[in-house]
């Protein structure tokens, strides 16, 4: 029975790995081990609890205002001191975070096979998103099994020289998590959102947290949200990220704005409930960029380029950058033009059909079966 370690440290990774972990727990072919780096500890713990997952190993690397180098070093150092003791047969990493990079490096340095979920995403610009684009390109060079969410992602890997028999297109597990959350969506626990059921205004759900949005772009985004909230029959709801680089810039703009509701980051199921209630989503979040189109919500992406072009090409998401004027213009067009709104408000399965978990488990099982067969041939 292969023992498989899932190494991750952020909320998005937890959400996108959760359905796979829970499925693997029920599969007698595997023994999953959940390793939390604690890169974003508080938000991570809440997400895992929602899916009924408790880490087997906690690295607890989170420290206030730590740099990228510091967090990557701490994760790698702690993994390197422990990973051989776990007796694992493979490491699963997800996406493109510091935990992803450090987890893959630690596995590679200890000759442990690497399985990469959400492999092959490429923006084409090494500096955007930063550092995620570099992280995922680096991880691809040492990965043994690439689990690509889309055909486009698999094509990216092939162009870079990955072996075709080491790539499986699975769909994105976020769609599986989204389906689960939508089916189990709770009533809003936040008092500030208790009136949403009877709200008659158009709802704009907005969020921003990416590193490339920090500083001047965050001021532009904040001004745009204030201007949108001043339009007739519009309410802007902002689940605000915990990062001080976000809160310290954006909060001064939003205080005393009658049509803006600011809440702390919501548990995943609550956030899915909020997206279901939204008329428009405005965000730089990769999760929202996938979830909004899957729910049929027009999604304005606060970026200039994206590694997730599928929904943009399908017409359900639109890149709008971070300038106040462009954000307001594009959102206003959706709010005032019913035909334009209807064109974008079409659910699409650009990122999957909700069955990615099954495909991921199947691909991992086939990988181990092939590995066992090769070892048997060598032994004979």
Same domain for 203 and 261? yes
Which residue is catalytic, options 45, 118, 220, 310? 118
129 located within any domain: yes
Q: What is the Cα–Cα distance from 356 to 179, expressed in whole angstroms? A: 12
81 located within any domain: yes
Same domain for 100 and 214? no
Q: Which residues is 90 bridged to in the sheet? A: 4
Query: For residues 179-207, b (16+ Cβ closer than 10 Å) or e, as one string?
Result: bbbbeebeebebeebeebeeeeebbbbbb
12 located within any domain: yes
Q: What is the pLDDT along the chain (380 residues), one digit of tens a residue?
A: 899 999 999 999 999 999 999 999 999 999 999 999 999 887 899 999 999 999 999 999 988 888 999 999 999 999 999 999 999 999 999 999 999 999 999 999 999 999 999 999 999 999 999 999 999 999 999 999 999 999 999 999 999 999 999 999 999 999 999 999 999 888 787 889 989 988 999 999 999 999 899 999 999 999 999 999 999 999 999 999 888 888 999 999 988 899 999 999 999 999 999 999 999 999 999 999 999 999 999 999 999 999 999 999 999 999 999 999 999 999 999 999 999 999 999 999 999 999 999 999 999 999 999 887 777 677 66
pLDDT score recorded for residue 171: 98
Which residue is catalytic, options 209, 210, 303, 322? 209
Does 118 qualify as catalytic in the annotation? yes
Which residue is catalytic, options 132, 279, 289, 307? 132
DSSP string, 235-265: EEEEEE-S-HHHHHHHHHHHTT-TTEEEEEP
Please check whether residue 296 is in contact with residue 221, taking contact to mean a CB–CB distance below 8 angstroms.
no
- CA-based diameter of the chain, in Å? 76
Same domain for 165 and 201? no
pLDDT score recorded for residue 256: 84
Which residue is catalytic, options 40, 235, 241, 269? 241
Which residue is catalytic, options 211, 277, 326, 333? 211
42 located within any domain: yes
| Residue 266: C-alpha distances to residues 11, 13, 246, 285 (Å) | 11, 16, 16, 14
Same domain for 166 and 247? no
Does 308 qualify as catalytic in the annotation? no
> What is the C-alpha end-to-end distance of the chain, expressed in Å?
22
Q: What is the Cα–Cα distance from 325 to 331, expressed in whole angstroms? A: 10
238 located within any domain: yes
CATH for 199:
3.40.50.2000
Q: What is the Cα–Cα distance from 261 to 134, expressed in whole angstroms? A: 35
- Tokens 């309410």 sit at which residue? 235
Which tokens hold the place of 229?
């909230």
Does 132 qualify as catalytic in the annotation? yes
Does 211 qualify as catalytic in the annotation? yes
Same domain for 331 and 369? no
Same domain for 299 and 370? no
Same domain for 242 and 119? no
Does 264 qualify as catalytic in the annotation? no
Same domain for 319 and 375? no
Which residue is catalytic, options 96, 133, 220, 310? 96
Residue ranges making up the domain that contains 228? 189-344
Q: What's the structural domain count of the chain?
A: 2
61 located within any domain: yes
Does 219 qualify as catalytic in the annotation? no
Closest by Cα among 81, 172, 161, 78 to 121: 172
Q: What is the Cα–Cα distance from 291 to 147, expressed in whole angstroms? A: 19
pLDDT score recorded for residue 336: 96
pLDDT score recorded for residue 380: 65
DSSP string, 132-185: HHHHHHHHHTT-SEEEESSHHHHHHHHHTT--GGGEEE---HHHHHHHHHHHTP
């Amino acid at each position: 029975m292969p023992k498989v370690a899932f190494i991750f440290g952020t909320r998005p990774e937890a959400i996108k790995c959760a359905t796979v972990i829970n499925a693997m727990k029920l599969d007698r072919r595997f023994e999953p081990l959940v390793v939390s780096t604690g890169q974003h500890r508080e938000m991570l713990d809440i997400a895992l609890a929602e899916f009924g997952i408790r880490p087997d190993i906690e690295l607890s690397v989170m420290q206030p205002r730590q740099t990228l180098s510091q967090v990557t070093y701490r994760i790698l150092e702690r993994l390197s001191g422990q990973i051989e003791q776990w007796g694992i047969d493979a490491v699963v990493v997800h996406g493109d975070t510091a935990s992803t990079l450090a987890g893959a490096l630690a596995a590679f340095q200890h000759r442990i096979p690497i399985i990469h979920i959400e492999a092959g995403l490429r923006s084409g610009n090494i500096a955007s998103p930063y550092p995620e684009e570099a992280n995922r390109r680096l991880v691809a060079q040492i990965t043994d099994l690439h689990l690509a969410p889309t055909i486009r992602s698999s094509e990216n890997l092939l162009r870079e020289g990955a072996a075709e028999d080491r790539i499986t297109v699975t769909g994105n597990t976020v769609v599986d998590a989204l389906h689960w959350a939508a089916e189990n969506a709770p009533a809003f626990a936040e008092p500030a959102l208790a009136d949403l059921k009877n709200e008659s205004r158009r709802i704009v759900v907005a969020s921003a947290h990416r590193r490339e949005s920090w500083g001047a772009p965050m001021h532009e985004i904040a001004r745009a949200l204030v201007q949108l909230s001043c339009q007739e029959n519009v309410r802007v709801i902002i689940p605000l990220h915990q990062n001080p680089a976000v809160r310290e810039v954006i909060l001064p703009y939003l205080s005393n704005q009658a049509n803006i509701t600011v809440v702390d980051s919501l548990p995943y199921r609550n956030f899915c409930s909020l997206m279901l209630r939204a008329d428009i989503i405005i965000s730089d979040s990769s999760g929202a960029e996938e979830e909004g189109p899957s729910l049929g919500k027009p999604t304005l992406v606060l970026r200039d380029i994206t590694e997730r072009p599928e929904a943009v090409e399908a017409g359900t998401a639109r890149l709008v950058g971070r300038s106040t004027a462009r954000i307001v213009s594009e959102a206003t067009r959706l709010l005032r033009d019913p035909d334009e709104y209807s064109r974008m408000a079409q659910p699409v399965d650009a990122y999957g059909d909700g069955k990615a978990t099954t495909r991921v488990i199947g691909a991992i099982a086939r990988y181990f079966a092939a590995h066992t067969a090769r070892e048997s041939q060598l032994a004979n």
